[in-house]
Structure 1
């Protein structure tokens, strides 16, 4: 029986495709008492959270904690000059932003759907989000590096920084008056990258899943400068899901409050320090194996930068390893090879607008899964 179980464990496919942030589970098991939440049966029954707010389904307590966490970390301008729009994850907010930008006054008469572009390797969810609804308002336009904008036709550019999949710190590629930018800052938190400045863009997307690990809450927020854009984003969420769960908002507020209290009140909930230590240890092991075996190449990241939050020099520690196969075998589709030969499920480069010589590996799974990954990666030469 024991030998059979060991064989099953050896052959079990480990899924490193999705970026499911279960690595944070151990932290919250030990430090999550301050995020405990009790909801009575009579609470949160109305559709409405705040009828006077532009985003009428946003709970005031959640709004307070969103602005507070950004003030503490210093990663984005989130004062009262910014409108907060919440959605069921940042994926819904990306769609809401595309809708809002594509329905701005004065766009009537433009020819065809508005192109949506992003610099390759781009997040694999962008093409699907742009084309899934087969909208007449917008469509996927491909790699921003090779896109030729029409002189009179606006376009939307998604800028993910730090980038998913490769961790680069991105800036807009297309800089002209017809370019609308959506800044996806899901990973702009101190556990992944130095916080060098407070981002101050027209539309900025964040999600609690990559901040605290609570992907199951399905909550994201956008910081939006323009009130009319924010209203159209709210309308998109309203028509799609009639708002966002109040129960999830209460839980997310409790989670963010616990994190903020850990830094402002000297509590034990030092989430970002836990995250940095974990990511540093994992990257050290990945680099050791890659260097020793020579089968894969890794992207070179910028040198350490001063992090205003940590108040020290800090390295870049992306949530994903972006590996390029450089071994001696004739392998064109490295993701298929890893799954077939080594029981590692990952996402191939073609999904990100590049070749399948590349593969994205999530470093955010539970420790046991990560350990199995390192063991299997070590067997590839």
Structure 2
């Protein structure tokens, strides 16, 4: 490129158009056609880069559609467009697919990271086995929820991953945040997605879950192509749960394990996040005003707050939140419902109240008359009533049992 020619013509543009092109060519010691080219360059005297048409250009829209809609791989796409007339090489296709994916992942990551109140992610850490001091194995799950902007986490210990449990975890997470993000990203879990109606391109949300999301006021987002990097935020949190392993044999009850998880939750929210280089609690102060307000919470309670039935064991006891409570032996094998009010547990058969226990830290809870009835029906069936009562006074009261009159 003759920069001297282009620069001078730029300075003398109006004059140059009036000058004799041959005279200018002699002045710049160049061909007349060179001068003419720079004068006629529509004001842009810099040489335009020559546009080279790629063999792939006519197929780019097809490639992006197959990648975005169906997750098609490079080789499959290469073979497909060959049948449509593509004459280029595989590497060109592979590079284009890689660059397209990187671009889309970057867009999704920016959306998650930089928009306060926009998005949260939900997942489970499944089937964790924790051992109590007594050697009892507790198989638990930990529900994980994290806000995209602040990285504030909410963890909850659960014994299952049913849809009702998911509703309850979301409910408690909303209360923890005192607000609701505009959208929540889920894995394609069966409690969220109707798998019988779902294809790679079209995700069908479970009808009951859709109603819940509408009442709560958030949009359901499921994992699609280009989501793995954003999904990694909650998966990285799952790795943090491994820090619970030192608490094996450091607890006695399910409730104590719940307290350990709650304490751990507070701990990780007080640490500097590697993603933001800020403390989640502090960064949340900037995010909380962007969350949607809580809806009437009784509306959400209706999705999961149902009376649960508890089967009476052969020991004439029901198990509630990791502890056992006695009932009359006539209810062995029956299903009972319970209602907890403050520190009292009320046990019902149909609508009849059959027992009331005080809740304590003890594992076993007996009413004295229930204990007597249980012993007379089995272990001490040949004893007199007086002997059984004496046994209860001398033995049961000295055991790690909560015994009530």
TM above 0.5, yes or no, is no
In the superposition, the TM-score normalised over structure 1's length comes to 0.25
Q: From the two aligned structures, give the one with the greater helix fraction.
A: 2
- Report 1 or 2 for greater relative contact order, CA contacts < 8 Å, sequence distance ≥ 6: 1
